Amino acid sequence: MSEARIFQDEFTCPVCLDLLKDPVTIQCGHSYCESCITGCWDQEDQMRVYRSPQCRQTFSPRPALARNTMLAEVVEKLKKRKRPADCDAELYVCDIFTFMILTLTV
């Protein structure tokens, strides 16, 4: 996996698998799109026990969500650059040096 892909994965919502939109970080430390975690928790309203979709840690009552502004800024900067997902990276290794070729798909 390319380093660019790993970097992008750090800012991917584990629910929708897209770059975070209006990111919020919940008490367990995991981050989600605000709409994704709200949708998950809306389905759990009757039980009044809310879970992190990633680690399954439970919360009761339903936690208030606050936008993670630092994470939102990083994601916005990442979006403004050419998205790493739009590049195919190939790693070539030879006896003398290693080099990477990025191919931009438009």
Indicate the pLDDT class of residue 104, thresholds 50, 70 and 90: low
- Residue 99 pLDDT exceeds 50: no
> Given this model, what pLDDT does residue 77 score?
87
In contact, 14 and 37? CB cutoff 8 Å: no
Q: What angle do CA 8, 72, 61 make, to 5 degrees?
A: 105
- Interval 46-56 mean pLDDT: 95
**Burial 1-18, CB ≥16 within 10 A → b, else e:** eeebeeebeebbbbeeee
Q: Which CATH class is domain 3-104?
A: alpha beta
> Given this model, what pLDDT does residue 36 score?
97
pTM: 0.69
